[in-house]
Amino acid sequence: MAKNKSAAHTSSSPAKDTTPQKAADVKASPSKKASTVTKLAIEPGFFGEQIHPHHSLVCENPTEDMAFQLAGAALAGDAIAGRTTLYASSERRDLKIALCTLDIASASQWTLSHTFSPMDGAVTFSTEGVNAIHLTGYVDAEMDEDVDEDDEGLYGIGGDDDDDSDDEHDLLEVVDEEDDDDDDDGDEIPDSGRFEEIVDEEEPAKEEKKVDKKRPVDAAAREEGSKKAKPTPVRKAGGVTVEDSVIGTGKEALKGRKVQILYKGKLAKNNKQFDANQDRKRPFRFKLGSGNVIKGMDIGVEGMRVGGKRTITIPSKLGYGSEGAGKDIPPNSDLIFEIELLHAQIVQRNVAAAFPSMSVAKRKRLVRETYENTCVSLLWFLHLQAFGRWRHMERYIDLAFPPAYVADLSEGSVIVVTGHIGCWELLPCVHAPPHLHVRRVVELYRPLHNEPLNAWLTRLRSYPHTRLLPDKNCLPALANVLAPRASDPDSSALNDTRHAAPPASDVVALVCDQRPSRSGVDVWFVGQPSRMAPGMAVLHQRTRRPIWFTALTLAPPNHAKPLILHTLPIHRDAISAERQQPSVQAIMQVYATTLSSLIMAFPAQYMWFHDRWNTRRHP
């Protein structure tokens, strides 16, 4: 999740201070009421800021490919009585418009759906009243799909890249595509990040013309740059021979960024083609510089811009070396690749694949609603955490668990799986005491590379009844959690006497709708062939514990409570050793079918930010 970069505060100077330090408030003018102005350069990802009374926040869009969408406004828990109004104005039209008025007595939070495009320029938010307003939203970027998705792996089982001799960890791999530093197949691309710009393929040119009218100097500079951007002669880059035939004008391919390409691969010695992907609907995708592809490909693609074409010659030592690759690539073969770097539109492509008969207008609406619901789900998570209301989930959900599920818990620990749909972050508060007679919820997580952000998210996800288990080498620990217990001295600590089935059981929670990087099983998912990580199925075969699916979706407006709980069986009748065990593929297909049905019922609540259906192998 990207963080917003604060710039220095100023009252009159238009210059930006881009030092990545917390901005300091300064007086904007010696007016009657003290006021301050904060200038903020927005970045792709989650947006969250506090707007205090007599304070203005100026959100500057530093590029021409970011859209800024508001999600909600809320008062803090220590808000005092009185009304506070949130205003917005844009650089294009300097007119203060009231967005909402909040009051702890009537409306302490409000859902917003306003979107600001690059054409609006800088957007200024201000308040009038007695309280600070917490403003949240989303910043959408055209190709910035390299936003780390570690934080999404709350229940995910990660791969074990340190142990090549034991595939059992690979079998349990449930990896987030957007933060898969261990991905060896390279066929993953984001979350989300999750957030790519919603544009039609024919729209960028029109949008660029509009921007050019507003910023003639920038347009002239771009035109001058495009005239100078001529194909370069043959050159060497890290041992790879590079020849550009077309210089792209889009974003640059940098290390750590997710890219997608079309390519043709040929042997240098005889020009024989051994592989190719020219399908623009299903291009090849990988994370640049992370070892997802052969080293020569990483070197050769780096520095390209979207729309560019180049030919790279990779020596064997940077390709497949002395081992070669199958029958098509002999040992010690130099390789030639013709490459075109494409623009990525993950959400639109996934929605089109899932709903081929849906009109373009409806698809656009569905994509917008997906972004909105993602923000609303995040707001629910933060809201219930901040006020400690996760302890009273019965106020927001009808907690009616299937009797068979309760019966399975009375006999031992249970594997509970979900997908990236609805408010999945809140599920650890639902399948937990005092709502169920369980001892704890064991959640698997992937630590973030950003240590402060990782510490903050870990605190948010830590409850008295949860155990956060790192995703590396997790199979033995999970099997131990699911092992039968004769007695449990800790179960008395629950103080829950509604169920007379001691000892209390554990819930092992997994997210299973990501595809694995190394091992996986073929399933049919949302009308398309896909591959999924078989973690839950392997755990079931190891422990014979039942598997249940759960999800928490946003309720329609006329529903009695704001959230709806879904709890469905995946596989639970093979606990006895005498019964024949189902195959891993069969279990995963039941899961894929169950999740697909829920997605069809609530399509705008699914996270379409991952490339679910690309099953191609890397070159």
Of 416-420, 481-485, 593-597, the least confident: 481-485
* pLDDT tens per residue, range 181-221: 333 333 333 333 222 222 333 344 444 444 444 444 444 44
Mean pLDDT of 387-400: 86
Does 531 share its domain with 398? yes
Q: State the Cα–Cα distance between residues 55 and 132, nearest whole angstrom.
A: 9
pLDDT for the residue numbered 145: 39
CA distances from 97 to 41, 74, 83, 90, 376 (A): 22, 18, 16, 9, 23
Q: What is the per-residue pLDDT for 32? A: 44
469 and 510 part of one domain: yes
Residue 492 lies in a domain: no
In a domain, 214, yes or no: no
In a domain, 607, yes or no: no
State how far the Cα of 585 lies from the Cα of 149, in Å rounded to an integer: 27
Residues 124 and 242 in one domain: no
Give the pLDDT of residue 512: 82
List of residues 6+ apart from 500 with CB closer than 8 A: none
pLDDT tens, position by position, 139-159 = 875 433 333 333 333 233 333
Q: What is the mean pLDDT of residues 306-317?
A: 92
Asked if the structure places residue 185 within a domain, the reply is: no
Contacting residues for 459 by C-beta, under 8 A, at least 6 apart:
none
Q: Is residue 98 part of a domain?
A: yes
Assess whether pLDDT exceeds 60 at residue 407.
Answer: yes
Question: Considering the domain boundaries, does residue 384 fall inside one?
Answer: yes
pLDDT value of position 381 = 86
pLDDT attached to residue 297: 93
Q: What is the DSSP string of 23-55?
A: ----BS---SS--EEEEEE--SEEEEEEE-TTE
Does some domain include residue 11? no
Neighbours of 421 (CB within 10 A): 22
Q: Which residues pair with 136 in a beta bridge?
A: 48, 72
Q: How far apart are CA 43 and CA 67, in angstroms?
A: 10
Q: Tokens 């020569």 belong to which residue?
A: 296
- Give me the pLDDT at residue 617, please: 47
Q: Please tell me which residue, 285 or 129, carries the higher pLDDT value.
A: 129
Question: Encoding tokens for residue 559?
Answer: 């529903």
Q: Residues 322, 379: one domain?
A: no
Query: In this structure, what DSSP letter does residue 120 have?
Result: G
Q: Residues with Cβ < 8 Å from 227, sequence gap 6 or more?
A: none
The pLDDT of residue 283 is 81
For residue range 9-32, what is the model confidence (pLDDT) as tens digits? 333 333 334 333 333 343 333 334
pLDDT at position 37 is 87
**Domain total for the chain?**
3
**How do residues 106-133 score in pLDDT, each as one tens digit?**
999 999 988 887 777 889 999 999 999 9
Residue 321 burial (CB count, 10 A): 15
Residue-wise pLDDT for 576-618, tens only, equals: 445 567 889 999 999 999 999 999 999 999 988 776 665 554 4
Q: What is the pTM of this model?
A: 0.54
- Per the CB < 8 A criterion, the answer to whether 151 and 459 are in contact is no
Token pair in block for residue 569: 């069986």
Reported as a single tens digit per residue, the pLDDT across 425-453 is 899 989 988 888 888 898 877 777 677 87
CATH of the domain at 136: 2.60.120.340
Task: For residue 585, give the H/E element and its range.
Answer: helix 584-601
Query: Are residue 466 and residue 576 in the same domain, yes or no?
Result: yes
Q: Choose the final residue of a domain: 141, 168, 200.
A: 141
Tell me, yes or no, whether 385 and 268 share the same domain: no
- Same domain (yes/no): 435, 577: yes
User: Is pLDDT at 102 greater than 80 in this prediction?
Assistant: yes
Mean pLDDT for the chain overall: 75
State both tokens at 598. Answer: 């829920």
More confidently predicted of 27 and 281: 281
What is the pLDDT averaged over residues 311-316?
A: 94
CA atoms of 95 and 88, how far apart (whole Å): 8
- For residue range 510-539, list pLDDT tens digits in order: 888 766 656 678 899 998 888 888 888 888
Per-residue tokens: 262: 């079309």
Residue carrying the six token digits 């508001």: 70
Residue ranges making up the domain that contains 429: 360-484+503-601
* Single-letter residue type at 602: F
Which residues, 6 or more positions from 443, have their beta carbon under 8 angstroms from its beta carbon? 154, 155, 428, 461, 466, 467, 468, 469, 509
Question: End of a domain among 344, 372, 401?
Answer: 344
Q: b or e along 477-511 (b: 16 or more beta carbons within 10 Å of the residue's beta carbon)?
A: ebeebbeebeeeeebeebeeeeeeeebbbbbbbbb
Contact 581, 497 (CB under 8 A): no
- Do 329 and 365 lie in one domain? The reply is no
pLDDT for 127 equals 94
What is the rounded average pLDDT of the residues 257-262?
A: 85
Rounded Cα distance between 174 and 607, Å, is 16
What dihedral do alpha carbons 69, 71, 77, 83 form, nearest 10°?
Answer: 80
Strands 240-246, 235-237: pairing kind: antiparallel
Cα 40 to Cα 26: distance, rounded to the nearest angstrom: 14
Question: In the structure, what pLDDT confidence band is assigned to residue 343 with cuts at 50, 70 and 90?
Answer: confident
Cβ neighbours around 81 below 10 Å, total: 9
Give the range among 264-273, 332-341, 346-355, 552-561 with minimum mean pLDDT: 346-355
Q: What is the pLDDT confidence band of residue 423, given thresholds at 50, 70 and 90?
A: very high
Task: Return d(Cα 459, Cα 232) in angstroms, integer.
Answer: 51
Tell me the one-letter amino acid at 391: R
- Looking at residue 118, its amino acid is P
CB 258, CB 190: distance < 8 Å? yes
The answer to whether residues 416 and 537 belong to one domain is yes
The fraction of the chain above a pLDDT of 70, given in percent, is: 70
- In the chain, % of residues over pLDDT 90: 29
CA dihedral 9, 10, 14, 19 (to 10 degrees): -30
**Judgement on whether residues 461 and 552 belong to the same structural domain of the protein:** yes
The torsion angle over the Cα atoms of residues 101, 106, 109 and 110, rounded to 10 degrees, is -60
pLDDT of residue 218: 44
Say whether both 319 and 388 belong to one domain.
no
What is the pLDDT at residue 534? 85
Q: Are residues 133 and 247 in the same domain?
A: no
How many CB atoms are closer than 10 A to CB 559?
11
Final residue of a domain: which of 121, 141, 161?
141
User: Phi, psi at residue 491, to the nearest 5°?
Assistant: -65, -25
DSSP letters, 56-111, are: EEEEE--SSSEEEEEEEEEE-TTPPSS-EEEEEEESSS---EEEEEEBTTTBSEEE
Give the type of residue at 603: P
* 465 part of a folded domain: yes
The CATH number of residue 339's host domain is 3.10.50.40
Cβ atoms of 267 and 329 within 8 Å: the answer is: yes
